[in-house]
Amino acid sequence: MLQESHHMPVLESADVFLAQGSEAFHASLAAQLEASMGKSMPQLEIRFQDLAISADVAVATKDGHELPTLFNHAKKSVMGLFSSKRVIRKDVLHPMSGVFKPSTTTLLLGQPGSGKSSLMKILSGRFPMHKNITLSAYMSQRDFHYPTLTVKETLAFAHACSGGAAVPQRVLDSLESGSPEENAQAQNVIQSLYNVYPDIITRQMGLVNCKDTIVGNAMLRGVSGGERKRVTVGEMEFGMKLVSFMDEISTGLDSAATYDIVKSQKSMAESLKKTIVIALLQPSPEVYNLFDEVVLMNEGHVMYHGPRALCLEYFESLGFKCPPKRDVADFLLDLGTPQQAQYIVDGTTSVPRTPSDYADVFRRSAIFAEMMSHLEGPHHPLLLADAAKHMAEMPAYQVPYVQSTQQLIARQMKVFLRNTAFVKSRFIMVLVMGLLYASTFYQVDSSNPVIVLGVIFTSVLFLALGQVPLMPAALEARNIYYKQRGANFFRTSSFILAQSFTQVPFALGETLVFGAIMYWMTGFVSTAGAFLVYLLLLFLTNLSFASWFFFLAVVSPDLHVAKPLSMMSVLIYVLFAGFVISPSIIPDYFIWLYWLNPLSWCMRALSINQYSSSEFQVPVYKGVDYMKLKNDTMGNVMLETFGLETDTIWIWYGAIYLAASYFVFLGLSYLALEYKRYDAPENVSVMVDDDETTMDDYQKAPKTPAHSSDDVAVKVAGSSSTSVPATLAFKDLWYSVPNPTKGEPDLQLLKGINGYALPGTITALMGSSGAGKTTLMDVIAGRKTGGKIEGQILLNGYQATDLAIRRATGYCEQMDIHSESATFREAFQFSAMLRQSDEIPTEEKMAFAEECLELLDMKNLGDKIIRGASVEQMKRLTIGVELAAAPSILFLDEPTSGLDARSAKIIMTGIRKIASTGRTVERASFYRERASQTYNALWYFVGSTLAEIPYCLVTTFAFTIIFYPFVGLNESVGACLFYGLNLSLLVLMNVYFGQLMSYCMPRVDVAALMGVLLNSIFFLFMGYNPPASQIPNGYRWLYHITPPKYSVALLVAETFAKCTDDTQIGCKFMPEDGIPPSLFAEFGTKKIRVKDYVEKVYEMNYDDRWTNFFAVIGFILLWRILALLSLRYINHQKR
């Protein structure tokens, strides 16, 4: 062991520390540190007394229970005005007391929904309340990581946030109470430990082989599910915390890996005096026996809290007997449920039945009395000394502010640059749009302020909208932020600054490339000062809108809310920028929006920057005497045409305001992240029967049923849904993927695998996490989208085609991907209707879906929305969706991962019954359903096409009914309806275009970026800015193929170019003040009709309305055809 040497050993690698195993490493480390400190290792004891959690939830009757559709939500909102909402207090944790002692490992047992996570979160400070959390680590059930970072990088970042290799001075100061040699030895060991601690965690977690592999996610191939869980556990091991809370860490892990992790934690508890609390769902007997104490929970009650060795004896004294072949943990989980009847000893007259009964009995026990004696007694002097010294000196954050921010910036830059598709698309977009804009507005006529301000407006709007695609990444980062901020890895302000500052070099690059092209090609003032001011204002606008859209992302519950909010804000910014509507005609009650709008400040500053030049501050320009016409210089007249100020001081006001808005939006983001969390369940209410006075309540948010039977009646044998038996065989299967290291041979993931599975049997595919089980299943089931597959896969002796294997098999993946807006029952019915044979009557398919619901014990969840479901409910849903398809062969990848023992038993019993009917069991949303041949791409396409039409029609006509008369378009009802129809077609065309982008592009952010690029091109060439008459001849073809051009021309001409009688807008004359003097010469008169102005300048002719109408229909059909082809032939899922 390390302390046996009198000379300081060279400890430069984790291999030296772990040469004799984790137990020896922990014991040796503790011995050396304690010798130097002159006392035991620092310890922290957790005591809680009468701890309870409750929440106010709304009450809904079962008869009045409705799904949260738009109609039902609107109806409830209206009804709520006339009736008060009934709210009751729901107990999440009933009053409980307990002690978690140093040097102990405590097992927290309980079925899903029993309150385990709530207890651990509140003790570790993860509830929204002020609490010191620097001394405890909490490991969540869910695995949130940056998918493009490797395992090594993820752990290295956690290490850096916990202080890195720098040993805190307070630690070194504490190692001075031994002999000089002991002190030097301890300081050497602790410094070496800090240097190589990431490698030690990597080895202890069994992640050595995959340390250079990216973590990955559902769409990006990375480490396995079990390895990802171990990364989650390892990430929270840094920082030398005195307490660790681990929430269901065995999800996705094999029993051997779980045993190794728990054994390592027990070793740390014993040697390093840590306090360890671990919640597990189905611990094996070997894992169960590692623990010192057990806490048994159910429905928020503590049924037992005491030594593991006395647990069985305690419950036997209550009249229960654990059968010899029953795991103790499974036996304990059955207590307090109807399943406990099988354990009652004959002759016992009275036993507790409900969790509250058990809690009452436990409070009267000797074990509880002893615990309360300790709880209420004085603290050990050593613990008080440790608390005074270590807790008082422990800083809230291990890393100084500047260093922490630098670490976050470095990580964020790495994450951003690895999204290569997004970075390349963004660069191409800026370059292409810069050249397009500049060549379209080449050497503009400065005497036409409409064109000049149009150039400025277009430039600023393009850079502002270019920040919208960053929102999905910000939302993805928010979940990781919640986890790491909860562990005090960094400050919220550091995270926000890192997210923002990462955009600075890209914003600067975009501004230089786009701004330089635009400025010089469009013919703006050719002075260096004006050019630098132009770049400065564009850069500040870019940053301001990047921080605005980041704020919208972090303040929104999800992307479905963030995207509409962003589009709504863009509408307001555009409308009140001072270009579409001149400031002089904005109503007084909305003028504040103009003055708050960063876009308007940039527009004003850039316009003044252009026209304040000496070139334009002249009385006569191009033969027009502006002093005679307007009594002012040409530059000031141009500015006043749009109601803009003329003093150059407004340029610097604009720069200051843009910089201030950037920091204000960052401040709002800070408040949103620091004080608002979106990790609570959605749609929570309590349901009661109207005719009952007792409160037999349960949560409307999906909750695992705790009191239902293990006995499941599944009528599979006589069901018409039973499939044709199929024998699966695979021979000499090889699978390889390209080596990421160039020049190296391909990586062989499967090497000559042979095997078979017979009808009516369950075949167990066993192996440690990362052994290749999922890879083999993916290959057999035809789910791999990359790599090279060699060998034979046979169905009933015949070579299996890709279509045959997909239609004959069901595949429950590790990743639970579902449509969140559907109910559990709808998901089952959807699978049964589309994947079972069309020869089976609909009634039988529906009945089979109900049988599957019953099999998985999900009847009471049938009408609940999937959104907000727990981990184990999502797992059961994944299995159920495949069962409902009645496949001949069923693949289940870790089917019981994340389930408690009882749920796992129910599922495996049901699978056994299904296998008995002749099926073979071997044990992302559209991509998942396409992979299983749930439906042809055509029908998904038809469904997504038809579903949008009612929504677009209703929302657009609702808008038109308000908009049309309010702006003074009071021609006729028929004209209003025609306007609404054309507007609906425009909206529908844009919706279908958005769907096309999402089908074509690999990621949401890339799709959004390409949408911005193409929409910017459409906006440029639709004939508004620049006006159609000003588009260069070389780009006229783009003008003619721009889809929105036809909708805009139709709507504008129908409104402003119609002159069939004198009362219509088209017959009225344009105000002379609104027309630049240079245009009078073109028309030959100052009396210009609106119709003539629109048709000459914008080329939007009333006579072309039907041509434009059918052109819009044509583009809608084109988008749908391209969407269908994309669905059929493009697959971005990498497996």
| Per-residue model confidence (pLDDT) at position 58 | 64
Asked whether residue 101 is assigned to any structural domain, the reply reads no
Asked whether residue 281 is assigned to any structural domain, the reply reads no
Given a contact cutoff of 8 angstroms between Cβ atoms, the answer to whether 429 and 1008 are in contact is no
| Per-residue model confidence (pLDDT) at position 1074 | 62
- State how far the Cα of 786 lies from the Cα of 631, in Å rounded to an integer: 72
Confidence of residue 643 (pLDDT cuts 50, 70, 90): confident
- CATH number, domain with residue 916: 3.40.50.300
Q: Is the pLDDT of residue 755 over 60?
A: yes
Within this chain, do residues 785 and 829 fall inside the same structural domain, yes or no?
Answer: yes
Given a contact cutoff of 8 angstroms between Cβ atoms, the answer to whether 760 and 724 are in contact is no
Domain of residue 435, residue span: 401-675
Within this chain, do residues 863 and 964 fall inside the same structural domain, yes or no?
Answer: no
Confidence of residue 968 (pLDDT cuts 50, 70, 90): confident
Say how many CA atoms lie within 13 Å of 820 toward its Cβ: 9
Within this chain, do residues 883 and 971 fall inside the same structural domain, yes or no?
Answer: no
| Per-residue model confidence (pLDDT) at position 928 | 40
> How confident is the model over 550-558, as a mean pLDDT?
91
The residue length of the chain stands at 1135
Q: Which tokens is 156 given?
A: 């290295």
- CA-nearest of 951, 988, 930, 983 to 1120 is 988
Confidence of residue 306 (pLDDT cuts 50, 70, 90): very high
| Per-residue model confidence (pLDDT) at position 130 | 39
Taking the CA atoms of the chain, what radius of gyration do you get in angstroms?
Answer: 34
The per-residue pLDDT for range 111-122, each reduced to its tens digit, is 877 888 888 888
| Per-residue model confidence (pLDDT) at position 705 | 45
- State how far the Cα of 462 lies from the Cα of 1014, in Å rounded to an integer: 11
| Per-residue model confidence (pLDDT) at position 429 | 84
The per-residue pLDDT for range 316-374, each reduced to its tens digit, is 999 899 988 888 988 898 898 888 888 888 877 788 989 999 999 999 999 999 999 98
| Per-residue model confidence (pLDDT) at position 630 | 79
Report the chain's terminal Cα–Cα distance, integer Å: 45
| Per-residue model confidence (pLDDT) at position 775 | 85
Confidence of residue 693 (pLDDT cuts 50, 70, 90): very low
Given a contact cutoff of 8 angstroms between Cβ atoms, the answer to whether 948 and 988 are in contact is yes
> How confident is the model over 872-881, as a mean pLDDT?
81
- State how far the Cα of 309 lies from the Cα of 81, in Å rounded to an integer: 58
Within this chain, do residues 964 and 903 fall inside the same structural domain, yes or no?
Answer: no
Within this chain, do residues 883 and 945 fall inside the same structural domain, yes or no?
Answer: no
> How confident is the model over 157-178, as a mean pLDDT?
84
Given a contact cutoff of 8 angstroms between Cβ atoms, the answer to whether 1006 and 422 are in contact is yes
Least confident segment among 76-85, 472-481, 712-721: 712-721
The per-residue pLDDT for range 201-221, each reduced to its tens digit, is 888 888 888 888 888 876 677
915 or 425, which is more confident?
425
Within this chain, do residues 443 and 588 fall inside the same structural domain, yes or no?
Answer: yes
- State how far the Cα of 116 lies from the Cα of 279, in Å rounded to an integer: 7
The per-residue pLDDT for range 910-934, each reduced to its tens digit, is 677 667 766 666 653 333 444 444 4
**E strands along 784-909, which residues?**
788-795, 798-799, 809-812, 889-892
Per residue in 770-782, is it b (16+ CB within 10 Å) or e — as a string?
A: bebbbbbbbbbbb
Q: Is 113 left (phi over 0), alpha (psi -120 to 50) or beta?
A: left
Asked whether residue 972 is assigned to any structural domain, the reply reads yes
Given a contact cutoff of 8 angstroms between Cβ atoms, the answer to whether 868 and 900 are in contact is no
Asked whether residue 595 is assigned to any structural domain, the reply reads yes
Average pLDDT, the chain: 81
Asked whether residue 223 is assigned to any structural domain, the reply reads no
- State how far the Cα of 296 lies from the Cα of 282, in Å rounded to an integer: 13
Q: Is the pLDDT of residue 1010 over 90?
A: no
Domain boundary pick from 675, 703, 720: 675
Q: Is the pLDDT of residue 684 over 80?
A: no
Within this chain, do residues 497 and 530 fall inside the same structural domain, yes or no?
Answer: yes
Q: Is the pLDDT of residue 663 over 90?
A: yes
Within this chain, do residues 657 and 741 fall inside the same structural domain, yes or no?
Answer: no
Q: Which tokens is 877 given?
A: 């849903």
Say how many CA atoms lie within 13 Å of 539 toward its Cβ: 18
Q: Which tokens is 312 given?
A: 């069985």
Q: Is the pLDDT of residue 8 over 70?
A: no
- CA-nearest of 117, 142, 156 to 233 is 142
Within this chain, do residues 1050 and 910 fall inside the same structural domain, yes or no?
Answer: no
What angle do helix axes 449-465 and 528-555 make, rounded to 10 degrees?
40
| Per-residue model confidence (pLDDT) at position 534 | 94
| Per-residue model confidence (pLDDT) at position 817 | 76
Least confident segment among 651-655, 692-696, 821-825, 1118-1122: 692-696
- State how far the Cα of 427 lies from the Cα of 332, in Å rounded to an integer: 60
Asked whether residue 253 is assigned to any structural domain, the reply reads no
Inter-residue long-range contacts of 903-906, CB under 8 Å, 24+ positions, other chains counted: 903/112, 903/704, 903/857, 903/872, 903/876, 904/282, 905/330, 905/710, 906/710, 906/712, 906/855, 906/856, 906/857
696 or 774, which is more confident?
774
180 or 140, which is more confident?
180
What angle do helix axes 598-611 and 649-675 make, rounded to 10 degrees?
160
The per-residue pLDDT for range 466-491, each reduced to its tens digit, is 888 888 888 888 888 888 888 888 89
Within this chain, do residues 1002 and 1098 fall inside the same structural domain, yes or no?
Answer: yes
Within this chain, do residues 877 and 963 fall inside the same structural domain, yes or no?
Answer: no
| Per-residue model confidence (pLDDT) at position 67 | 58
Q: 485: Cβ–Cβ under 8 A, 6 or more apart, which residues? A: 492, 495, 673
- SS3 category, 675: helix
Question: In one letter, which amino acid is 406?
Answer: Q
Q: Which tokens is 1032 given?
A: 């260069």
Asked whether residue 763 is assigned to any structural domain, the reply reads yes
- State how far the Cα of 460 lies from the Cα of 468, in Å rounded to an integer: 14
Domain boundary pick from 675, 694, 715: 675
| Per-residue model confidence (pLDDT) at position 1110 | 93
**What H or E segment, with its residue span, contains residue 825?**
helix 824-835
Q: Is the pLDDT of residue 984 over 70?
A: yes
| Per-residue model confidence (pLDDT) at position 114 | 86
> How confident is the model over 819-839, as a mean pLDDT?
83
What angle do helix axes 1043-1056 and 1105-1129 make, rounded to 10 degrees?
150
Given a contact cutoff of 8 angstroms between Cβ atoms, the answer to whether 246 and 277 are in contact is yes
The per-residue pLDDT for range 439-451, each reduced to its tens digit, is 888 888 888 888 8
- CA-nearest of 516, 580, 503, 514 to 545 is 503
**Structural domain count, the chain:** 3
Q: 1074: Cβ–Cβ under 8 A, 6 or more apart, which residues? A: 641
The per-residue pLDDT for range 939-956, each reduced to its tens digit, is 667 777 888 888 888 888
Q: Is the pLDDT of residue 896 over 50?
A: yes
> How confident is the model over 543-558, as a mean pLDDT?
92
- State how far the Cα of 227 lies from the Cα of 231, in Å rounded to an integer: 6
| Per-residue model confidence (pLDDT) at position 2 | 44
**According to the per-residue pLDDT averaged within each range, which of 508-517, 1095-1104, 1117-1126 is highest?**
508-517
Angle made by CA atoms 660, 665, 668, in degrees to the nearest 5: 125
| Per-residue model confidence (pLDDT) at position 5 | 41
- Predicted structure pTM score: 0.73
1078 or 301, which is more confident?
301
623 or 674, which is more confident?
674
Confidence of residue 546 (pLDDT cuts 50, 70, 90): very high
- State how far the Cα of 789 lies from the Cα of 807, in Å rounded to an integer: 20
Asked whether residue 457 is assigned to any structural domain, the reply reads yes
Within this chain, do residues 886 and 945 fall inside the same structural domain, yes or no?
Answer: no
Any idea which residue has 């400050």 for tokens?
A: 491
Least confident segment among 62-76, 647-661, 1038-1052: 62-76
